[in-house]
Structures are given as C-alpha cells and as structure tokens.
A and B are shown apart, each in its own frame.
Chain A
Amino acid sequence: MKRVLEWVKARTGLDVAIAGALEEPVPGGARWQYVFGSVLTFLFMQQVVLGILLAFYYSPSASDAWASTAYLNDQVAAGWFLRGLHHHSSSAMVIVVVLHLLQVVWAGAYRAPREVNWWTGLAMGGLVLAFALTGYLLPWDQKGYWATQVATGIMGTVPGGEPLRQIIQGGPEYGNLTVTRFFALHVFVLPLVLGGLLVAHIALFRRHGVTPPANLDAAELKRKTQPFWPNQLFLDVAAMTICAVALIVLTFKTHGAELFAPADAASNFVARPEWYFLFLYQLLKYFEGPLQIVATVLLPGAVATMLFALPWLDRVASRSPGARWRALSMVGVLMAAVTALTALAIVEDAHNESYQHGLVVAEKESHRARTLALEGVLPAGGIAVFDNDPKQKTRKLFKEHCSTCHTIEGQGGEEAPNFDGYGSREWLTALIRDPGSKRFYGGTKGHTTMKAVPATAAGVTKDTAGAAVADEQLRAVVEYLLSLAGPEVGATDAALAATGKALWNGTVECSGCHEVEAGKSDTGPTMAGRGTPAWIARVIRNSGEPDLYGENAEMPKFGDKLSPDEIKALAEFISSQREVKPDAH
C-alpha cells in the first residue's frame, strides 16, 4: 500500500498539490465567519452530484418532462429524497450567498486589492439565481410553468427584450424548445461558467489571502495566525455538516420537493415565484403600466451597479466597520428593503383568499395527477395523464361512439336527446312539456310519437280542453317518474309521487303509452328503473327491445360494438349527468 502511494506521489506530485492547497495561513486565526465560501463550494458540488443523478431519469421535452419527474419522484427508490435535496439545496445556496456577501461587506473584503474577487463573487451570486430560475421550469409542472411565464414575460416587456425572450424560450410560445434550452442552460452552460468563476474566485482568494479582522494590529494577527489545515478546514467542514443535516431534516419533513399538476396552458394557476424572488414580485405591484420598467430593470440594475461599484464608492482610509458606515448602511438598507418586500409579499398572500383557495385546488390537482401517473402517462405526456382518469376514458368513449347524435357537456350532435342534466327534474319536466324540441326528440328522425303536455293557463289547475297540466301537477308527475326509477337516482317525496301517480294514470294519460313495470312493453319505453345505469345500459345495448323503444328505436345497437365494461361505464356516466348543473359548461 505504502509503495503504491509512493509511486502515485512520485508520478503525479499529488502530495505537493494537496499540500499547496491546504497550507495557507489564516491571519488572526480560524473563525466561523470564514466558513460561508467553503459551504457554498460544498453545496455547489453536492448540487452537481444530485443534478447528475436526476438526469438519469429526467427527460427534457415538453411531453416527457412532467411524467419523467413524477416517475423519478414517486416511483424510483429514493428519487423523492434526491430531488428534494436538490430543490432545498438551491434555497440553501441563496441563503449562504447572502450570508457570504454580508460577511465580505462587513469585513471590507471587497476593497482593494480584492475588487476582482468581489466581482467574480457577485457574478456567481447572479448565476445562483439563474440556476434557480432555469431549474424551476424543468419539472414542467403548473408552478414552474406559470412562474417562469412571468419571468420571461417581464423580459419581453423590456425595450429590446422581445427577441431575447424568444431566443431564450425558443420561439413565441412555450414548448419543447423551452425545455431543451432551459435544460441546456441549467445543466451545461451555468455549471461550466460557475465552475470557471469558482476557480478564479478561489485562486484570487489565495492570492490575496483572508481579510483579517480590522481591529487586530499586525503583531497580534501574526501571533494568532493558524494554518488553514486543519484549523479552518475543521470549522468549514463542521459548518457544511450543519447545513447538510438541516437540509436532510427539511427534505424529510417536506417529503421532498413539491410537484404540481402538469403544465396546462389553458388553466388559471395562481403563479408565485420561489420565495427568494418574492421581493421582486412584490416590487412589481407598486409600478404599473409604463412605470413597470422601474421595478423590472431600473431598480435591480441600480442595485447591481451599486454593488459592482462598491470598491470605488467606499474610499475611506480605514477598513474598520465604524469608518465604513456609509458602505455598510447602503448594503444594510438594501437588505432591509429586500426583507421587508419579501415579508409584505408573504403577508399579503396569507390574507389573499383567492390565492389560498387556488393553493388548495392546486394541491388537489397535484395529488390527482400524481396518483394517475402511477399507471403510466400516455406518450402525449403532460396533461394526457388525466386520460388515465376512468371518467376521462368514458368521456372519450362517448365522444367516439355517442356524440355524433347526443350532446354531453355542451358538445355533440342534435340528432338525439341532449344528455346535459339528463334525468334531472328539470330535464324530465322540459321533456314532457316539449318532447319535439331539439333538446329532446326534435332532431331524431321519425320520432314524433310522444305528444307534448302543454301548460295550463295561469291559476287553472285542471284544463278541461285536453291533457294540459299546471306546473305543480307536472312536478308531481315527475316525482312519480323518479320514484319509479328507484332510490338509485335519488330520494323522492312519497306524498308528491302519490299525487303524480294519480295524474299519470288520469289527466296526463302517460299510462296510455308507458308501462311502469319492468319487462312490460307498450308504445313507449317502460318507466321502471328509467334513468338508472342498468336501464341506460340496456338502451345502449339494444334500444329496440320491446319494453324499451321497440319499433320506434332509431339508435344503433351497441351490444356488439362495445364491451360490457364500456357500456356499464357509459351508462353510469350518462346517469350521473342529472347531478351536473346545466350551466356548468
């Protein structure tokens, strides 16, 4: 073993390189406030590892992104943990970037001769935000999709920003190219640029050394100096461990990262950016119309310029914080403003009922989509996951086989009765009043057997002229009709139904054509079980049965075309329409 080590040392000079990396004096001694840079380096490396792992299952296309993310999150062993850790670590990076920046500002480490180091640091801070923005979209879920729409939308409103927006999102609208571009940026471009800047940043840091506390004089700094290895590195690694433990606890507590329903361009999702962008989101509320550019470009630009120019703005001779109160208060005011805006955004949302309601709906949709995704998502991807919903499958079946003649949910033909509200009191009443209307048999060829039952003149309960009945009498007839169908179609008022039965056999003369016992045939279909799934299923199978529509049947027989399960599902779907409000579509 020792000989192998010696050989490696002799051939590679690895020992010298490692010693060179570790042997660095820390003037004034190791301190906790120096750990942030190391913690960021650690977080970045961990993000790289986690990102590579996620790429083993993630597929960057508009049709695959959501389904593959749901798969890796909900079906692959430990996928939720790795994705959750990647998600939460991005928040941790933003926090540690801010802490690092504040420490550098406090220590005056941005001052000469460390300006370039300061600038590379600022650039990396910006890159961390760019990582967050690009990564947010990749799952192609509702939240990422809509939050990013806002971000690219802002880009488009800036003068000259529209071409830039289209280049970044790959065209005038979101689609496959948006995913591939954000993926390429997030996974290749940004890590390479950040890695390069990190090397420069660390090299510059080593060139100029740690910025020691300003209150110690040269002699004391020298006396208290400790080596980086192991004194400072121990503190660094301890801080990394604290950070990692916090992230693991957070990941377990939240059971990973949230994943909303697949992106749906036709929905109205309550879009919010990730928490560290909330201050910008809040700022946007105060600048409307032509002033919007103040919040989107001018103010952020001014802040960036101020930070960039900080080494020149701060020209006082002493590095002690007291002497640099101007620079410190500039950054202090900035941080206070960001914190206040963030807090305002959170408080406003907490009191925003429609937002809170939107969150509840979003959670529900997310749960539904992810449960359906366990069966696998059709290759169309994204919202095609909802096709797994049995009701959706039935809807599709209806569209294929029934909607040429029947309308449901506002769509379909008029050659046969409209099923919106089918079997409800309102529907039955309207049918009895006017069976020949387009809504019922008006479009059905040769279907004119049933006579309308017109309303009586106002206030008259019995019209001697014919079969006309008053509205309240018809209410009773409909109640009787529903009671014949049985409890399956809902509870009925027994007294009212009894009144209706008398009218049925008497004044209204329904019994002349309709039987009320199962299996008995007459001119019209039997009313026993009418509107129940079983009755509807029989009609679908063969509406020409003698106890159904008999010789008047115009509908094709579906007994051979559809499977028993399909007929059952269709019958249940149609029967359930009586609970749907007619204006729901």
Chain B
Amino acid sequence: MSSERDLPDADPHAMPPEDMSPEGVSRRKLLKLGVGALGCGLAVVPIVPALGYLVHPLRMGQGEAGAMLAAGKRKAFGSVPVRVDLYADRRDAWNRESNVKLGSCWVVERDGALQALSTVCPHLGCSVDFDAGEGQFKCPCHRSAFDLAGKVKGGPSPRAMDSLELKDTNGLVSIRFQRFRQGGPTKEPV
C-alpha cells in the first residue's frame, strides 16, 4: 500500500522540543502577541458596526405626539364612558400602513366637558375596561380600579389613567393618541 509512505513518521502527534534560546522565546512571544492582536481586530470587524445596528430602534422617533384623530360627533358622548377606537396611518419598520387602529380610549363627560382616557393601564399596559355596574374603570389583569375621572380607587396602578388631548371642533371630537411609560408614578410619553 502506498498509504504508509504518505505518513511522515510513526507518530504524527509528537510535539517537537521547544526552542529555548532567547531568540526562540522572544520570537514565540511576538507571534503570540500577533495572534492576540490580529484576532481581536477580526472580532471588532462585525462587532463595532453591530452595536449601532442593533440599537437602531432607539434612534426612531420617540415621544412624538401624533395628529388629532377623528373620534366621533360630540352628541355621541355623555356621562357614561364610551370606548372609541382611533385610526391613523402608521409606519412599522419597513411598512407603511394606512388607516390602521392605533389604539383606543374612553371618552366621558365630566362637569359638561369631555375627557379622553387612554385604555392602556398605567400599571403594566393591559386594556382597562368599564364596569357599568360599579361605575368604575377596571383593569382585568391586576385589578386596578379607577373612578370616572381616572383617579386610582384601588389596585396596584401607580398613577391615574392617562388622559389624552381632546378637541371639540364644531361638534366633531378629535383626540391625540399617545402612549406613556408604564409602571411609574409620572406620566411620560414614550
């Protein structure tokens, strides 16, 4: 067989004795340093651009208040809260969507004036419901309860329901939909 002739020697795994001369030692040290330095350089190539790439969502528009969105006629609202869905055009990464539901809010008349409360619970973002029997807003997830003005009446919510800007133009109600940071005592737009 020719195979035997292809093997360099009996044990291909025998390590050679190290060159312990000063030149040999310093040469090996240099090579090791070179491997380390170049290796780090290679790792940096994808890592550095990847950092900016991965945190790109942070650079998207933040806290920008959207436009006033049509919510319905003034006549449609009274002292019993009415849930209103708000529609608008939206950008979602690469998509442009027209007339999609952005979210909803409760509209209720208090002392003759309309007020809009976001259905997003300030606690952890569940959708707040209205309990007509008790006349309270209730969050189904963690039992936060709010009165008609949005004030906390019970449960873990750290602040009142988030009110939204509302305008009544010649009997047509429009509302500016916004989302706020959850879980904190202050209302900050996200």
Q: Do A and B come from one complex?
A: yes
Measured CB to CB, the residues of A under 8 A from B are 23-25, 27-28, 42, 46, 49-50, 53, 56-57, 59, 64, 67-68, 70-71, 75-79, 81-82, 85, 108, 111-114, 208-212, 218, 221-222, 225-227, 229-231, 233-234, 237-238, 240-241, 244, 248, 315-319, 373, 375-379, 381, 388
Could you list 8 examples of A-B contacts with CB < 8 Å?
A: A49-B50, A53-B50, A68-B94, A78-B49, A78-B53, A108-B6, A221-B8, A231-B31
Cβ of B76 within 8 Å of any chain A Cβ, yes or no, is: no
Known: A25-B14, A76-B53, A373-B94. A240 touches B6 (CB 8 A): no
Contact at B15–A23, with CB atoms within 8 Å?
yes
B95 touches A241 (CB 8 A): no
Contact B8 A27 (CB under 8 A): yes
B interface residue count range (under 10 / 10 to 19 / 20 to 34 / 35 or more): 35 or more
CA A380 to CA B109, docked complex, whole Å: 41
Cβ contacts under 8 Å, B16 to chain A: 25, 222, 225-227
Complex contact A316–B2 (CB within 8 A): yes
CA distance A379 to B93 in the complex (A): 11
Q: How far is the CA of A240 from the CA of B45 in the complex (A)?
A: 12
- The answer for the CA separation of A71 and B32 in the assembled complex, in Å, is 42
Give the 5 A-B CB pairs with smallest separation, nearest first.
A376-B96, A209-B12, A112-B3, A71-B94, A78-B49
- CB <8 Å contact, B9 and A78: no
Q: Kindly report which residue of chain B lies nearest to residue A49, judged by CB atoms.
A: B46
A379 engages B8 (CB within 8 Å): no
B75 at the interface (CB under 8 A from A): no
With a cutoff of 8 Å between Cβ atoms, the chain A residues found around residue B39 in the complex are 237
A77 and B56 within 8 A (CB): yes
Interchain CA distance A231-B56 in the complex, whole Å? 41
Q: Given B5, B14, B28, B38, which contacts A241 in the complex, CB threshold below 8 Å?
A: B38
Proximity string of chain B (1-29) to chain A, C-beta cutoff 8 Å, 1 when within and 0 when not: 11101111100111110100000000010
A residues within 8 A CB of B56?
Answer: 76-77, 79
Residue of A nearest to B37 (CB): A237
Contacting pair B6 A112 (CB below 8 A): yes
Q: Which residues on the A side are within 8 Å of B64 (C-beta)?
A: none
Least CB distance, B65 to chain A, in whole angstroms: 20
**In the assembled complex, which residues on chain B have CB atoms less than 8 Å from the CB atom of A375?**
96
Q: For residues 89 through 131 of chain B, which have their beta carbon under 8 Å from a beta carbon of chain A?
A: 91-98
Question: Which of chain A's residues has its CB closest to B92's CB?
Answer: A376
- CA distance in complex: A243, B189 (Å): 48
Which of chain A's residues have a CB closer than 8 A to the CB of B52? 77-78
A204 to B12, CA, bound (A): 13
Q: A25-B15, A230-B31, A237-B39 are in contact. Are A376 and B46 (CB under 8 A)?
A: no
User: Known contacts being A112-B2, A211-B6, is A377 close to B46, with CB within 8 Å?
Assistant: no
Distance between B24 CB and nearest chain A CB, rounded to angstroms = 10
**Interface residue? B54 (CB, 8 A):** yes
CB <8 Å contact, B15 and A227:
yes
Q: Contacts A112-B1, A230-B28 given: A78-B8 contact, CB under 8 Å?
A: no
Known A27-B12, A56-B54, A76-B53; contact A46-B45, beta-carbon cutoff 8 A: yes
Quick check: A244 and B45 within 8 Å, CB to CB? Answer: yes
CB distance B94 to A376 under 8 Å? yes
Chain B residues whose C-beta falls within 8 Å of the C-beta of A233 in the assembled complex: 31, 35
Query: Interface centre among A221, A244, A317, by most B CB within 10 Å?
Result: A244
Contacts of B41 in A (CB 8 A): 241, 244
Q: Is the CB of B38 within 8 A of A376?
A: no
A212 in contact with B8 (CB, 8 Å): yes
- Nearest A residue to B41 via CB reads A241
Neighbouring B residues of A57 by C-beta, 8 Å: 93
- Given A376-B96, A378-B95, A111–B8 Cβ distance below 8 Å? no
